[in-house]
Structure 1
Amino acid sequence: MTLDEILASLFPNGRDVKNQRGVLFGSGTLRSGEQALVIGVSDRTPLGVDEAARLSRYVLSSVESGKGPIVVVVDSDSQRMSKRDELLGLNEYLAHLAKCLLYADLNGRPTIGILYGHTAAGAFLATAMATRVLVGLPGADPVVMDLPSMSKVTKLSIEVLEAKAKSTPVFAPGLQNLSQMGAVHTVWDTSRPLVDQLEAVLRETTDARDRRDELGKQRGGRTKAADIAERVHDLALHTL
């Protein structure tokens, strides 16, 4: 589906979404008449300090002035690999954007990420992964870290990582693997109206509690994370 087709299927009652050099912002009308804030990254645009600052401003302004969900639509490159962005503190801008989305979600603006294209690395973490619920559309191509980069960090050969990726989703990119790990809540059916599936997700997820580790355990993609998180939580309670 193209971006226009996705937005039309999400908001058949009307939408006004602008695309300024790959940064999306605007609104869409839900069936209830409520307005959803729509932001995101399109056209495989890299996420730099300028884009992150603009998106953060839209999110924070919406908390002060509006209600309803925030829909984050993503087809990005990775973070912008430039000397300027790095010197300006790109990591802090990306972290700020992620925290703005979390802040909005905790203050009455449920955040729904919709991954319809590519995304990678810091741009992925600061947008789609910072939402309450992340859904994917068929054909989406998320990559937390590609295998060559992972090889440099872990000092393991590409061949070893490729072998591990066949049996362990943590080492493997792609929509199916991230779904098995629980990072992607569900993959939507593009033969059905997306508005129906958006409303279903909003009904199902009524609080901002992160359930990704539980989904990963249920799906066999991350078998230890949920148990470890529960143990840490219990230990923290006992030491207070």
Structure 2
Amino acid sequence: MSLNDILDALFPAGHTVAVAGQVITGEAQTAHGPVAVLGTTDAAAIDHAMALALADFVLDTVEQHPGRPLVFLVDTCGQALSRSQELLCLNGSLAHLASCVDLARRQGHASLSLVTANAVSGGFLSFGLMADRAYALADAQVRVMDLRAMARVTKIAHERLVELAATSPIFAPGAESYVRMGGIEAIWPEPSAALLDAALVAARQAAPATDRRMASGLERGGRLLAAGIMQAVGA
């Protein structure tokens, strides 16, 4: 599905969204008023310039439109991998982006993200997962690291990781695994204005409440230890 088709389905009341390179910014109308729309498209590898452009848009929204909800559209193959990006401190740029999203939350901006195609690695962790709630389309591909790469990093045999992925969503790629772990709230069969409106209401009611993703992971049987550890540390 093309980006325009997704935007038209989510915002039938109208939208003015621009794409510069692979960065999406703009605004749209919903049943609950205007929202800020930002994100990436075409499996973008998020680099230094993209991260700063997204962060600037978040800060501009906080300054110019207090309280306006943020809708993140996520389609990324992860962070850009090159020596030049590392020398530009891409990790710092991604951390800055995440900090800006957190600032918006603390200033009363509800937020949600929708994975429209790909959500991979640091490009997802520092952006889409920073929203109050994350959702994914049914055909979206969500993962932090594929099993062969994980095998190289962890020195665990690929065959063993395949076995573990069969029983534990922590090792298994896919949107369904992230639902079980609580990282993704729900999978949408298709982009829908009705689903978006309901998600915006839920995000507004939740913000700035405590993040429930670890509790959801425990309830869904996909992340069994994180909630208890958090409670123990907090105590």
Per the TM superposition, whether the score is higher than 0.5 is yes
C-alpha contact 2:111 2:200 (8 A) present in aligned 1: no
Pairing 1:43–2:42 present: yes
- Deviation of 1:86 (Å): 0.5
Could you say which residue in structure 1 is the equivalent of 2:227?
226
1:61 equivalenced with 2:88 (yes/no): no
Q: Secondary structure at the match of 2:183?
A: coil
Q: Is the 8 A contact 2:18 2:24 kept in 1?
A: yes
Normalised to the residue count of structure 2, the TM-score between the two structures is 0.95
Partner of 1:167: 167
Looking at structure 1, the residues matched to 69 and 192 of structure 2 have their Cα atoms a distance apart, in angstroms, of 15
1:1-240 alignment runs, 5 A limit: 1-32=1-32, 34-66=33-65, 67-190=67-190, 194-205=192-203, 206=205, 207-208=207-208, 209-234=210-235
**Structure 1 alignment gaps of length 5 or more:** 235-240
Query: In structure 2, what residue type is equivalent to 1:199?
Result: D
Provide, for residues 83-128 of structure 1, a one-character-per-residue CA deviation record: whole Å limited to 9, x for no partner: 1111010111111111111111121111111001012111011111
TM-score by length of 1: 0.93
Q: Between the two proteins, what is the percent identity of the paired residues?
A: 34
Alignment partner, residue 237 of structure 1: none
C-alpha separation in 2, matches of 1:119 and 1:197 = 20
Structure 1 segments, 4+ long, off by >4 Å, are none
- CA shift for structure 1 position 74: 0.8
* Partner AA of 2:181 in structure 1: M
In the alignment, residue 8 of structure 1 is paired with which amino acid?
D
RMSD: 1.2
| Separation of aligned partners in 1, 2:213 and 2:164 | 22
Alpha-carbon distance in structure 1 between the residues aligned to 2:3 and 2:138:
13
Tell me the distance in 2 between the aligned counterparts of 1:98 and 1:198.
Answer: 22
Distance 2:103 2:192 in 1: 26
Q: Note the C-alpha offset of 1:55.
A: 0.4
Whole-angstrom CA distance in 2 between matches of 1:92 and 1:121: 16
Give how far 1:202 is off: 2.2
Aligned AA (2:63): E
**Which residue identity is paired with 1:94?**
L
Aligned length: 231
- How many angstroms apart in 2 are the aligned matches of 1:154 and 1:86? 22
1:77 is paired with a residue whose SS is strand
Q: Secondary structure at the match of 1:171?
A: coil
Give the superposition deviation at 1:226: 1.1
Q: CA separation in 2, counterparts of 1:152 and 1:203?
A: 43
Query: Which range moved further: 84-93 or 3-12?
Result: 3-12
Higher relative contact order (CA 8 A, sep 6+): 2
The code of the aligned residue for 1:72 comes to F
- Alpha-carbon shift at residue 189 of structure 1 (Å): 3.1
Distance (whole Å) between structure 2 residues aligned to residue 99 and residue 150 of structure 1: 27
